[in-house]
């Protein structure tokens, strides 16, 4: 297990490195460097530009040096916890992070939990009762989750709530709790808002999970050992829960790897449509105004989050399934 | 397989013949026409596909979409860019075909006109469908000028009002009084083609990279596997957006269009590469491939002549399942304002108009492009499903 862990950690570090290169390319892509765009935005706002500051910035990010040196300067600043400076918001990136990261993580993690809690029973039900009414509903739900883009779902939900129930479902807090300290009341207010984004984010992933689980479980249910156990008189319900479900869940654990990128991607779009105070609207604004340091740091962070999630899922899988831990299957 | 005589199956699997002793194996007689008794692999695939009802229906639906996209100017009654401030947020008109007004009835398509009411408090103009006014429509009517297939200048439209100044808004009008139906029709052109072009690009990447990895194996295979894992472990939308945002803002619509498709395919080739690599690995162990190699065929010949025909159907399947993903991605990017930009019309660009809850409440028909997205993506997924079942017609 320990060697497996260290191997996985090594892969993750390498992946992070590759990710940082990609992000750096994204930062570098817009014409001009960020100091020139900084100057442009300042003079557009009618402010004078302090030559001293500019020189300090150019020096710090080694903007006059070759690209490799620039990359090194950027990555070493990040390793020291300095993610750069957002020119648009006039704040250090790390400060913007710390304001919003809690809410972002809370929404995303809740969505993942809800997604699993909903899709596992549905998947098991529709496999065990194949071609029943409920199974058809699950299939329709699955196809809708596949074809309905998150932002469209969010829009439709917004429209339905507004038009039929007179409720606006944007945001996560009522105005009076916006900047309040956490209390029971604020939490209740939060809970009364958070259902909409959770619903939107978890539907897409849940639809996929149901399909995967249903297919896996159907394969298992047709295997001889199920018939044997049944013939020996094991009650159906106990049999299903004890053997095939456990086997069918195995590949499901490994899907955390792709569930997380999906969740982060969809929460991204959803948060923008529903105007949530998470990191996503900030990233969109940063991208639209080419505030590339902020954008790069955010993309980097979202990638890191996904990689950590994948690592956890791999470790879980290795813990459950000894074949993977011992490298008997084509494990990564 | 009861429907087919197990003759010499085209991919050289003679095993079927020996497994069924009740049908005597026969030698091909040059005097007899065997074309009715033996079906080619593609015929088998078509037969298998036809069994998937939903897929067949979807194929018709998608065909309709493609036709609309091809003949966009002909289908669209109004110029999609034509601004008519008088008809801001005019609601959709229902299309009637049978006119009962005069003595008896006649086949004469018409829609009801609008009358404008001014809300006393808000002083806002609202449109009411006025059943007194009938706007008659005629087929193949001359209207605004367009170029069919971008080449042939013409001004004939499928259905347009008899008096060209009359309002005709099947799907309502948007903020600037532009016809949503015509815009949707033109959006179909862009949105579908982004999916197709993007998939063709990622297919090229995927087949070359995945094929090389699967055929040659070794370090190249290992490296591409890592690269694919890396790309798949990233949340796609933020990364796409990062790349899309880095595009210079002064690019022409055409440049942006190709840049967007390139970005989408750059991250979308991984799935196709995985499929191709998997097929190559599976086929590498086949005896007939080894035989071809020992016969001294070049790599190129082994691949193109002996291996590719065996998995073309699998590639088509994977590609057809990748198209809807591309379309969804383009839509999301454009919706967020990072993809295609305003003068270009795509479904995502159209939905940008529907971002605001107040606008949505007054003009819910702005969500109609969303219906187009859902229908087309569903249809493509069903077709992909049907193709996947049909891709290997010899499997049970």
Whole-prediction pTM value? 0.77
Q: Is residue A152 part of a domain?
A: yes
Is A302 within a domain?
A: no
Q: Between residues 330 and 359 of chain B, which touch chain A (CB distance below 8 Å)? A: 331-332, 335-338, 351, 354-355, 357
> Is residue A219, in this structure, part of any structural domain at all?
yes
Give me the residue from A147, A261, A268 closest to B378, CB to CB.
A147
Checking if the pLDDT of A228 tops 70, the result is: yes
Same domain, B123 and B250: no
- Structure-token pair, residue A95: 């400060």
- Using a CB-CB cut-off of 8 Å, the residues of chain B touching A144 are 374
Residue among B238, B332, B338 whose CB faces A302 most closely: B238
Rounded-to-integer distance, Cα A326 and Cα A310, Å: 19
Number of domains in chain B: 2
Mean of pLDDT over chain B = 78
Inter-chain Cβ pairs, chain A and chain B, closer than 8 A: 127
Q: Are residues B269 and B297 in the same domain?
A: yes
Does residue B30 belong to any structural domain of this protein? no
Domain count, chain A: 1
3-state secondary structure of B159: strand
Q: Do B236 and A158 touch (CB under 8 A)?
A: no
Nearest CA to CA, how far is A45 from chain B (Å)? 20
B381 touches chain A (CB under 8 A): yes
Among B233, B247, B271, most A C-beta atoms within 10 A, so best to mutate, is B233
**Which tokens go with B208?**
């070359």
CB < 8 Å to B338, chain A? 284, 287-288
**Does one domain contain both B107 and B211?**
no
Q: Are residues B171 and B196 in the same domain?
A: no
Helix axes B180-216, B253-284, angle to 10 degrees: 40
List beta partners, residue B135: B111
Token pair for A65: 């040096």
Using CA atoms, how far residue B334 sits from A151, A258, B356, in Å, is 11, 24, 16
pLDDT at B60: 92
C-alpha to C-alpha distance for B83 and A180, rounded to whole angstroms: 46
Chain B interface includes A324 (CB < 8 A): no
> Angle B94-B98-B104 (CA atoms, 0-180°, nearest 5)?
140
pLDDT at B16: 47
> Stretch A240-246: mean pLDDT, rounded?
82
Q: Which of B175, B196, B211 is the last residue of a domain?
A: B175
Strand duo A91-92 + A85-86: pairing: antiparallel
Residues B268 and B356 in one domain: yes
Beta carbons within 10 angstroms of residue B144's beta carbon: 17
Nearest to B263 by CA among B291, B243, B278: B243
Question: Is the model more confident about B135 or about B198?
Answer: B198
Which of B230, B236, B242 should be substituted to probe chain A, the one whose Cβ sees the most A Cβ atoms within 10 Å?
Answer: B242
Q: What average pLDDT does the segment B20-37 reach?
A: 58
A159-189 pLDDT, tens digit per residue, is 888 878 777 777 777 766 666 677 777 777 7
Task: State whether residue A37 sits within 8 Å of chain B by CB.
Answer: no
Shared domain for B198 and B141, answered yes or no, is no
Nearest CA in chain B to A163: B361
* Same-domain pairing of B228 and B343: yes
Is A322 a member of any domain?
no
Structural domain boundaries, residue A183: 102-287
Partner residue opposite A152 with nearest CB, options B229, B357, B373: B373
The verdict on residue B41 lying in a domain is no
If asked whether residues B135 and B214 sit together in one domain, one would say no
- The answer to whether position A220 is within a domain reads yes
- Concatenating the DSSP letter of every residue in A197-261 gives HHHHHHHHHHHHHHHHHHHHHHHHHTSHHHHHHHHTT--HHHHHHHTHHHHHHHHHHHTHHHHHH
Partners of A158 on chain B (C-beta within 8 Å) are 357, 360
**Are B233 and B134 in a shared domain?**
no
**Number of other residues whose CB lies within 10 A of the CB of residue B192:** 24
Closest residue on chain B to A279 (Cα): B238
Residues on chain A touching B237 (C-beta within 8 angstroms): 265-266, 268-269
For B353, name the nearest residue in chain A, comparing CA atoms only. Answer: A155
The rounded distance, in Å, linking the Cα atoms of B216 and A237 is: 49
Can you give the residue range of the structural domain that contains B103?
Answer: 87-175
B222 reaches A (C-beta below 8 A): no
The answer to whether B194 and B257 are in contact (CB under 8 A) is: yes
Residues 257-276 on B with a CB inside 8 Å of A are none
User: CB of B170 within 8 A of CB of B240?
Assistant: no
| pLDDT number for residue B14 | 47
Mean pLDDT score of chain A? 77
Query: At residue B17, does pLDDT exceed 50?
Result: no
Asked if residue A139 belongs to a domain, the reply is yes
* Alpha carbons within 13 A on the beta-carbon side of B356: 7
Residue B144 pLDDT level (bands cut at 50, 70, 90): confident
| Domain termination residue (choose one: B175, B198, B216) | B175
Residue scoring higher pLDDT (B84 or B20): B84
pLDDT tens-digit map of A307-328: 787 777 777 777 776 666 665 5
**A295 → closest Cβ in B235, B245, B336:** B245
Q: Chain A window 235-264: which residues touch B at a Cβ cutoff of 8 Å?
A: 257-258, 260-261, 264
Q: How far is CA A116 from the centre of its chain?
A: 14
- Tokens read off for B35: 């074309």
Q: Tell me whether residue B78 is in a domain.
A: no
Contacts of B305 (CB under 8 A, 6+ apart): B292, B297
Residue-wise pLDDT for B356-395, tens only, equals: 777 777 788 888 888 888 889 888 888 887 887 777 766 6
- Put simply, the answer to whether A152 touches B351 (Cβ < 8 Å) is yes
Same domain, residue pair B313 and B376: yes
Q: How far apart are CA B35 and CA B10, in angstroms?
A: 13
Residues of B with Cβ-Cβ distance to A266 under 8 angstroms: 237
Task: Report the range out of B66-70, B129-133, B307-311 with the highest average pLDDT.
Answer: B66-70
CA–CA gap between residue B201 and residue A300 (Å, rounded): 27
- Looking up residue B209, the CATH number of its domain turns out to be 1.10.3720.10
* Cα B389 to Cα A87, B59, B392, distances in angstroms: 54, 15, 7
Sign of CA dihedral B382, B388, B394, B395: negative
CB within 8 Å: A151 and B351: yes
**How far apart are alpha carbons A145 and A187 in whole angstroms?**
29
> CA B192, CA B289: separation in Å to the nearest integer?
38
> How far, in Å, CA of A27 to CA of A291, rounded?
9
- For residue A108, give both structure tokens: 């995303």
Which CATH number goes with the domain that contains A132? 1.10.3720
Query: Which H/E stretch holds residue B323?
Result: helix B308-335
DSSP calls for A277-321:
SSHHHHHHHHHHTT-HHHHHHHHHHHHHHHHHHHHHHHHHHHHH-
B328 touches A at CB < 8 Å: yes
pLDDT in tens, B259-302: 888 888 877 788 788 888 888 887 877 888 888 888 888 888 88
Residue A127, helix vs strand vs coil: helix
pLDDT > 90 fraction of chain A, expressed in percent and rounded? 0
Would A14 be classed as within a structural domain?
no
Q: A65 or B78: which carries more pLDDT confidence? A: B78
3-state SS class at B14: coil
So what's the ipTM on this one? Answer: 0.75
Is the same domain home to B220 and B136?
Answer: no
- Residue B48 located in a structural domain: no
Q: Which residue in A10, A25, A155 has the most chain B C-beta atoms within 10 A of its own C-beta, making it the best mutation to test that interface?
A: A155
Residue B145 Ramachandran class (φ > 0 left, ψ -120 to 50 alpha, else beta): beta
For the cut 70, the answer to whether the pLDDT of residue B228 exceeds it is: yes
Tell whether the model's pLDDT for residue A133 goes beyond 50: yes
pLDDT tens for residues A78-89?
777 777 777 666
**Best of A108, A147, A259, A283 to mutate (most B CBs within 10 Å, chain B):** A147
Partners of residue B374 in chain A, C-beta under 8 Å: 144, 147-148, 152
Domain check: are B146 and B192 in the same one? no
Beta bridge partners of B173: B179
Q: What are the strands of the beta sheet with B152-161, ordered from one edge? A: B96-99, B106-118, B125-148, B152-161
Residue B12 within any structural domain of the chain: no
Structure tokens at B225: 């596997």
């Amino acid at each position: 297990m320990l060697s497996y862990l260290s191997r996985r950690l090594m892969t993750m570090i390498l992946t992070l490195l590759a990710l940082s290169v990609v992000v750096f390319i994204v930062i570098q892509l817009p014409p001009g460097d960020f100091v020139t765009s900084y100057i442009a935005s300042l003079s557009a706002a009618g402010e004078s530009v302090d030559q001293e500051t500019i020189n300090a910035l150019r020096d710090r990010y080694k903007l006059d040096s070759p690209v490799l040196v620039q990359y090194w300067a950027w990555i070493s600043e990040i390793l020291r916890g300095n993610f750069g400076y957002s020119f648009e918001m006039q704040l250090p990136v790390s400060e913007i992070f710390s304001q919003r990261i809690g809410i972002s993580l809370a929404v995303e993690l809740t969505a993942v939990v809800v997604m699993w809690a909903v899709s596992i029973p549905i998947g098991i039900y529709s496999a065990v009762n194949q071609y029943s009414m409920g199974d058809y509903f699950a299939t329709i739900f699955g196809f809708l989750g596949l074809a309905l883009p998150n932002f469209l779902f969010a829009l439709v939900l917004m429209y339905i709530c507004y038009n039929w129930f007179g409720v606006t479902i944007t945001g996560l807090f009522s105005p009076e709790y916006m900047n309040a300290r956490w209390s029971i009341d604020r939490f209740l207010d939060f809970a009364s808002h958070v259902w909409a984004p959770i619903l939107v984010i978890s539907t897409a992933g849940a639809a996929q999970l149901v399909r995967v689980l249903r297919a896996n479980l159907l394969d298992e249910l047709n295997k001889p050992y199920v018939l044997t156990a049944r013939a020996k008189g094991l009650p159906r319900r106990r049999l299903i829960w004890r053997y095939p479900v456990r086997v069918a869940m195995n590949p499901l654990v490994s899907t955390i790897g792709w569930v997380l990128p999906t969740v982060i991607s969809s929460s991204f779009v959803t948060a923008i449509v529903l105007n949530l105070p998470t990191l996503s609207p900030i990233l969109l604004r940063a991208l639209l105004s080419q505030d590339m340091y902020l954008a790069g740091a955010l993309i980097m962070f979202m990638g890191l989050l996904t990689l950590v999630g994948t690592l956890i899922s791999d470790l879980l899988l290795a813990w459950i399934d000894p074949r993977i831990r011992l490298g008997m299957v084509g494990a990564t | 397989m009861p429907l087919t005589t197990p003759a010499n199956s085209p991919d050289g699997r003679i095993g079927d013949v020996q497994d069924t002793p009740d049908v005597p194996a026969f030698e091909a007689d040059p005097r007899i026409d065997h074309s009715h008794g033996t079906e080619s692999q593609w015929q088998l695939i078509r037969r298998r596909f036809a069994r998937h009802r939903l897929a067949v229906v979807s194929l018709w639906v998608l065909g309709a979409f493609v036709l609309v996209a091809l003949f966009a100017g002909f289908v669209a009654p109004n110029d999609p860019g034509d601004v008519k401030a008088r008809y801001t947020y005019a609601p959709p008109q229902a299309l009637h075909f049978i006119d009962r007004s005069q003595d008896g009835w006649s086949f004469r398509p018409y829609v009801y006109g609008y009358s404008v009411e001014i809300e006393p408090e808000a002083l806002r103009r609202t449109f009411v469908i006025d059943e007194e006014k009938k706007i008659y429509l005629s087929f193949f009517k001359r209207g605004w000028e367009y170029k069919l297939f971008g080449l042939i200048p013409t001004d004939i439209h499928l259905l347009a009002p008899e008096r060209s100044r009359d309002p005709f808004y099947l799907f309502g009008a948007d903020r600037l009084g532009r016809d949503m139906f015509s815009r949707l029709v033109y959006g179909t052109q862009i949105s579908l083609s982004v999916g197709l072009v993007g998939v063709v690009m990622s297919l090229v990447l995927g087949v070359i990279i995945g094929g090389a990895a699967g055929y040659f194996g070794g370090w190249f295979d290992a490296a591409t596997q890592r690269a694919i894992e890396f790309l798949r472990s990233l949340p796609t939308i933020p990364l796409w957006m990062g790349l899309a945002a880095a595009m210079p803002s002064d690019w022409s619509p055409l440049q942006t269009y190709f840049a967007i498709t390139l970005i989408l395919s750059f991250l979308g080739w991984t799935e196709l590469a995985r499929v191709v690599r998997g097929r190559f690995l599976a086929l590498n162990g086949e005896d007939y491939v080894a035989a071809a190699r020992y016969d001294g065929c070049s790599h190129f010949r082994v691949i193109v002549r002996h291996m590719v025909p065996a998995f073309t159907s699998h590639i088509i399947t994977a590609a057809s399942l990748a198209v809807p993903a591309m379309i969804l991605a383009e839509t999301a990017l454009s919706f967020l304002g990072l993809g295609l930009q305003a003068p270009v019309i795509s479904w995502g660009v159209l939905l940008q108009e529907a971002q605001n809850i107040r606008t949505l409440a007054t003009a819910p028909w702005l969500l109609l492009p969303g219906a187009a997205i859902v229908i087309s993506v569903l249809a493509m997924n069903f077709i992909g499903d049907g193709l996947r079942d049909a891709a290997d017609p010899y499997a049970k």
